[in-house]
Copies of this chain bind each other. A is one copy, B any other.
Amino acid sequence: MTDTLLTALTELLGPAHVLRGPDRAPYMSDWTGNYTADPLAVVRPADTAQVAAILRLAQTHRVPVVPVSGRTGLVGGAMTEGGLMLSVERLNRIREIRPESRIAVAEAGVILSTLHDAAEAKGLYFPLWFGARGSAMIGGVLSTNAGGSNVLRYGSTRALCLGLEVVLADGRVLNLMSALHKDNSGYDLRDLFIGAEGTLGVITAAVMKLVPRPRAYATATLAARSLPDALVLLNRLQAVTGGAVEAFEFMPDTYLRRLTEARPDVGEPFTPRHAVTILVEVGAITPRDADPGPDGSLPIATLLEDTLATMMDEGMVLDAQVAQSEAQRRAMWHRRELAAEVTFARSPAIDTDVALPLDAVAPFLTAIHNRLPALDAAAETLSVAHLGDGNVHFTIFPSRDAPALADTLLQAVEDEVQRLGGTFSAEHGVGLSKKPSMARHKDPVALAVMAQIKQALDPLNLMNPGKILP
């Protein structure tokens, strides 16, 4: 049975694109090191028609299919034991960029940074930005509704997608490749597949929005007296710039200490270290924000500097550095983007990805830090946050590697998050790792409706089975 399937796949794709045995090795582990896969084979289709043919074969043979792209996910969403791993890496064409309509039509295997470069070459910007941009691919970005550092200004992946092409479990190709900004022709199927982590079909291509490339950035690292004071800064900057804050990232002292331990070459912004360090970036898209004034200063930078200066006078900002060059800006970002490396360097670790109302972030951190000692006196924590979105990546390093303790600690975090109106999954998705959280915290009717939809679209449960739904 399996041999028949593999023979058919080899005929379809050629032997170079049906990987078996040790050839599968690069696909069997993931970036976190927490998950391993053991696929029957890794198949690498060249186009949408081949994806459809693979899914038809898989259905005939009742073999599960797990779509994978850049494999930079953090929740085990691209793992399989015995199923086919369908890599979209060869669907890597940018089919079209239309600068006048500000859209890019990209296949699922296009690497995020490749799309960045292609947009930049046309004077535009694709504003989805996170550390793994050199590996992550559009298919995975869409399937996880990826977020990152610029969601504050531009929204998550969902907000940047106009159209989709999806191959369904039975091989039908769903063509939703609209480039329109208004389209009310029936149910919104596009958003159903975005964030579905490949459990409803394989995204093969998409129409993505591009935006004007900021003409200039003003970037600063600052120490705030408290998190509420940092939110005052955010609100003031949004008010004076008209919502031009591109990123507002929180790095607590615990993060900077660990960063220095792991990467002493990077350096810290302030001595002594402060409890609340913020990386803020404002983007100028108009000439009057970006064109230097008579004294050579950028208006956007002046707005940032004046706001910081006022808040230093008021005692809410304790110290601040404004980047004076692109190199200094890059260095500030580098310090923030090492977070994943620093977090995953140590184990055991309980990493979470929670979102809260903005003004609940500080109460959450206080509550969980008050509660932790009673659960594990020697536990340590590490967090970084997209504070402008209320999104905290909160990690606990427990004192010992014990599943029951890990579960207790995770539940403590998630209980506090739920109490404060937050979610246990902000931007990383559910995959395998958040399934228990789905069962515990998601509205039971919502879970039932998700299962009904899954059953309707994938009645044989072959599309990335065992993910998302408890």
Contacts and interface: CB of A to CB of B under 8 A. Distances in A.
B244 A422 contact: no
Given A181-B355, A189-B446, A242-B289, 9 more contacts: A101-B358, A151-B181, A180-B423, A184-B426, A186-B446, A186-B450, A212-B239, A452-B456, A453-B456
B425 A184 contact: yes
Interface stretch (A3-11, A86-94, A167-175): A167-175
Contacts of A391: 182
A159 interface: yes
B183 A425 contact: yes
Contacts of A185: 423-425, 430, 434, 437-438, 441-442
Contacts of A438: 185-186
A184 to B, nearest CB: 5
Contact of A285 (B182, B242, B447, B448): B242
A147 interface: yes
B359 A101 contact: yes
Contacts of A310: none
Interface of A: 100-101, 144-145, 147, 151, 156, 158-159, 168, 172-176, 178-189, 191-192, 194-196, 200, 212, 239-244, 285-289, 355-359, 386, 389-391, 421-430, 434, 437-438, 441-443, 445-450, 452-453, 455-457, 468-469
A216 to B, nearest CB: 12
A450 B184 CA distance: 13
A210 to B, nearest CB: 13
24 contacts: A100-B359, A145-B184, A168-B449, A172-B445, A174-B449, A178-B423, A179-B421, A180-B390, A180-B421, A181-B355, A182-B427, A183-B425, A184-B427, A184-B429, A186-B450, A187-B196, A188-B192, A192-B192, A240-B286, A241-B286, A452-B457, A453-B453, A453-B456, A453-B457
Contacts of A156: 182
Given A168-B445, A289-B242, A184 B195 contact: yes
A194 B188 contact: yes
A199 B187 CA distance: 10
Contacts of A240: 286-288
Contacts of A447: 186
